[in-house]
């Protein structure tokens, strides 16, 4: 059965991780892996998460299964976080939320659900988009096409071209949008642009499918949800996938959610039955621990306040690092303008380097990043920043 299996090429990010670990250069810098890191290069456990885990350890009295939809309290509080309490209340039975095994699990569950009810539906994704969107959605059977998004030369959104492409989408199509902190480019839609896309969705009838992986890491929890909430308030149908990996630091706990809005309570109830059956056939029940931690934090005002305070520190540090990187490169006498990095949001940006220049950074300077020149801003700290800026400048000047 297994004699003729062919090796697949290694995932570029996982390959970088392995090479970084083997590298003995004391100045090595990891800008590839998309996790938050502090000034010491650690991915810390947030204070509120530690406190919630202590509480659960002392009070949890069962490890029985949760339902395919997951923990009710988690789903309720996540829906409030994503949509806001007022809007979530107004949506009522038109909105249903399912706890999922991370944002990846939410994306795949949504894709499998859509494939059941609309086999072979077309989904338009931004060019570029997060690489894992393609297998997560495409392997479920959705037909993937791209729409123009990021201009790598001018470092901005190709909004006119984007709108022209989306104007051709219709009622049988989905459009994947990044809710905030676009991965990989960091260039987000403005409020006016969100309004224009919402109006186009109303006009043409396509269904927005929003991936909200970084709520709270851009401008703030409410600010980052502007587009999601505008569409939830304006449109009859919407899919939103959210993740707790980044804003709660629960990467390994695989904690996420899929929220669906339809035009009527009956339609939502029918869709929920299909989603539950789909989840049952994929992984049966979602893991509980991360969801229980999040629910505990969001239910307790003191823990909630402390979580938001630490999240603000994370967000401020990332935004400060953007400015520090731009300044450090400029101080190296580089003619190229990198100010676009300071204007972008979240953990990622493109440096705008060629593949050859990227390979020089990796091979000659032990600065690890993918060929597209996407970097994880949170991999920078004030100890490695001078070396990073000097290395980038050398590569650019040669």
Q: What is the pLDDT of residues 109-125, one digit of tens each?
A: 999 999 999 999 999 99
Q: Is the pLDDT of residue 309 over 80?
A: yes
Is 50 designated active site?
Answer: no
pLDDT of res. 91? 98
Given 173, 246, 288, 345, the catalytic residue: 246
pLDDT of res. 331? 96
pLDDT of res. 369? 95
Is 246 designated active site?
Answer: yes
Supply the range of the domain harboring residue 363: 12-44+303-397
Residues 354 and 269 in one domain: no
pLDDT in tens, 192-246: 999 999 999 999 999 999 999 999 999 999 999 999 999 999 999 999 999 999 9
What CATH number did the domain enclosing 361 receive? 3.90.1150.10
| Confidence tier at 64 by pLDDT (50, 70, 90) | very high
pLDDT in tens, 243-266: 999 999 999 999 999 999 999 999
384 belongs to a structural domain: yes
Q: Is the pLDDT of residue 14 over 90?
A: no
56 belongs to a structural domain: no
Residues 178 and 295 in one domain: yes
Q: pTM for the full model?
A: 0.96
pLDDT of res. 18? 85
What CATH number did the domain enclosing 175 receive? 3.40.640.10
343 closest CA partner among 192, 127, 159, 187: 187
Domain termination site, one of 280, 299, 318 = 299
Residues 72 and 220 in one domain: yes
Is 194 designated active site?
Answer: no
Domain termination site, one of 299, 326, 345 = 299
Q: What is the total count of domains within the chain?
A: 2
Residues 132 and 204 in one domain: yes
Residues 258 and 342 in one domain: no
Given 30, 211, 224, 288, the catalytic residue: 211
Confirm if 346 and 322 have CB atoms less than 8 A apart: no
82 belongs to a structural domain: yes
Domain termination site, one of 236, 268, 299 = 299
Given 28, 30, 37, 130, the catalytic residue: 130
Q: Considering only residues 36 and 13, tell me which one the structure prediction assigns the higher pLDDT.
A: 36
């Amino acid at each position: 059965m297994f004699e003729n299996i062919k090796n697949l090429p290694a995932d570029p990010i996982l390959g970088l991780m392995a090479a970084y670990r083997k590298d003995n250069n004391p100045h090595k810098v990891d800008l590839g892996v998309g996790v938050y890191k502090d000034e010491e290069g650690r991915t810390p456990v947030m204070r509120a998460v530690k406190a919630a885990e202590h509480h659960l350890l002392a009070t949890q009295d069962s490890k029985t299964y949760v339902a395919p939809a997951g923990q009710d309290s988690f789903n309720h509080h996540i829906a409030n976080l994503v949509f806001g309490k007022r809007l979530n209340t107004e949506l009522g039975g038109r909105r249903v939320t399912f706890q999922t095994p991370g944002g990846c699990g939410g994306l795949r569950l949504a894709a499998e659900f859509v494939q059941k009810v609309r086999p072979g539906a077309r989904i338009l994704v931004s060019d570029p988009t997060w690489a894992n969107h393609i297998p997560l959605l495409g392997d479920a059977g959705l037909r993937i096409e791209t729409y123009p998004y990021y201009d790598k030369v001018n470092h901005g959104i190709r909004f006119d071209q984007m709108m022209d492409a989306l104007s051709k989408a219709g009622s049988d199509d989905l459009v994947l949008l990044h809710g905030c902190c676009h991965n990989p480019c960091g260039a987000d839609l403005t409020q006016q642009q969100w309004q224009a896309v919402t109006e186009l969705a109303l006009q043409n009838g396509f269904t927005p499918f929003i991936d909200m992986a970084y709520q709270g890491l851009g401008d703030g929890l409410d600010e980052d949800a502007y587009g999601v909430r505008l569409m939830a308030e304006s449109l009859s149908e919407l899919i939103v996938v959210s993740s707790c990996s980044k804003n709660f630091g629960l990467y390994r706990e695989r904690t996420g959610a899929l929220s669906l809005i339809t035009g009527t309570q009956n339609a939502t109830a029918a869709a929920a039955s299909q989603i539950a059956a789909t989840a049952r056939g994929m992984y049966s029940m979602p893991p509980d621990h991360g969801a229980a931690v999040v629910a505990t934090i969001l239910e307790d005002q003191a823990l909630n306040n402390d979580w938001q305070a630490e999240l603000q520190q994370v967000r401020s540090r990332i935004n400060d690092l953007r400015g520090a990187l731009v300044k450090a490169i400029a101080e190296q006498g580089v003619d190229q303008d990198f100010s676009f990095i300071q204007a972008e949001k979240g953990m990622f940006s493109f440096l705008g380097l060629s593949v050859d220049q990227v390979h020089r950074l990796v091979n000659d300077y032990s600065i690890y990043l993918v060929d597209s020149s996407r970097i994880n801003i949170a991999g920078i700290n004030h100890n490695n920043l001078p070396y990073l800026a000097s290395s980038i400048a050398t590569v650019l000047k040669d």
